[in-house]
Chains A and B, each alone.
Chain A
Amino acid sequence: GAVVSQHPSRVICKSGTSVKIECRSLDFQATTMFWYRQFPKQSLMLMATSNEGSKATYEQGVEKDKFLINHASLTLSTLTVTSAHPEDSSFYICSARAGPGETEAFFGQGTRLTVV
């Protein structure tokens, strides 16, 4: 299967600072990338969908000014958690899809964010 690399795998930051998470498709061009968050013992919750070169579409209840998503190229999307607070501590996962009609999405390894 295709490879999606997500970095960093773990990050601890102080409250009020910003954290950037990168998601790269290594061997295919990802026209669409998805960002999820997952709280302990819960399912994945879609935060936003980003298409290369256009603004991300955020799910209801997700603050676009707090979770900045950039999908500037076909192989890279970034999620920046701005002014992080302890309640933002979670497992963030990206996935990438090669095209709108493609059925399979490939997942990054996930990022464990802890805000102290």
Chain B
Amino acid sequence: GQNIDQPTEMTATEGAIVQINCTYQTSGFNGLFWYQQHAGEAPTFLSYNVLDGLEEKGRFSSFLSRSKGYSYLLLKELQMKDSASYLCAVMDSNYQLIWGAGTKLIIKP
């Protein structure tokens, strides 16, 4: 079966760094996405990785290891507005998105 695992909830301090991990087992792989979702809103795109390595985009970076079925999202210089759920999703061989359950990130002052 297809499976995406990520922690349910994480807490971090404003100004700090947090890493949200995602492991996956899917039928085929056409890339891994990270989305941010604030409560009551639709997800917004953060990053896309299809090759191994680190992709940096401002305060956010995403890493992928295809051989390990593993990715992480790194958030630096945390701000209160970063409090949200972070969803990991993998595109399978049929170009369908398989979603993780999301990680709720709580930022404390």
Interface of A toward B, CB cutoff 8 Å: 1, 6, 34, 41-46, 49, 91, 93, 97, 100-110, 112
Question: Taking CB as reference atom, which chain B residue is nearest A40?
Answer: B39
Provide the bound-state CA to CA distance between A103 and B95, in Å.
7
| Residues of chain A within 8 A of B50, CB atoms compared | 103
| Residues of chain B within 8 A of A102, CB atoms compared | 95
CB of B96 within 8 A of CB of A46, answer: yes
Q: Which of A6, A42, A103, A106 contacts B91 (CB 8 A)?
A: A103
Grouping DSSP codes into helix (H, G, I), strand (E, B) and loop, the A interface class, with mixed when no group exceeds half, is loop
Size of the chain B interface, CB-CB below 8 angstroms: 21
CB of A43 within 8 A of CB of B87, answer: yes
CB of B42 within 8 A of CB of A93, answer: yes
Provide the bound-state CA to CA distance between A45 and B4, in Å.
13
Which 5 pairs across A and B sit closest by C-beta, in order of nearness? A110-B42, A43-B101, A107-B42, A43-B99, A44-B99
CB of B48 within 8 A of CB of A49, answer: no
Provide the bound-state CA to CA distance between A115 and B96, in Å.
30
Question: Taking CB as reference atom, which chain B residue is nearest A34?
Answer: B97
Given A1-B45, A103-B48, output 17 extra A-B contacts at Cβ < 8 Å.
A34-B97, A41-B104, A42-B101, A43-B101, A43-B102, A44-B43, A46-B97, A93-B43, A101-B95, A103-B31, A103-B50, A104-B33, A104-B45, A104-B48, A107-B43, A108-B42, A109-B41
Q: In the complex where A103-B30, A103-B91 touch, is A91 in contact with B100 (Cβ < 8 A)?
A: no
A63 to chain B, nearest CB (A): 20
A112 to chain B, nearest CB (A): 7
A95 to chain B, nearest CB (A): 8
A33 to chain B, nearest CB (A): 13
B101 to chain A, nearest CB (A): 4
B39 to chain A, nearest CB (A): 9
B85 to chain A, nearest CB (A): 9
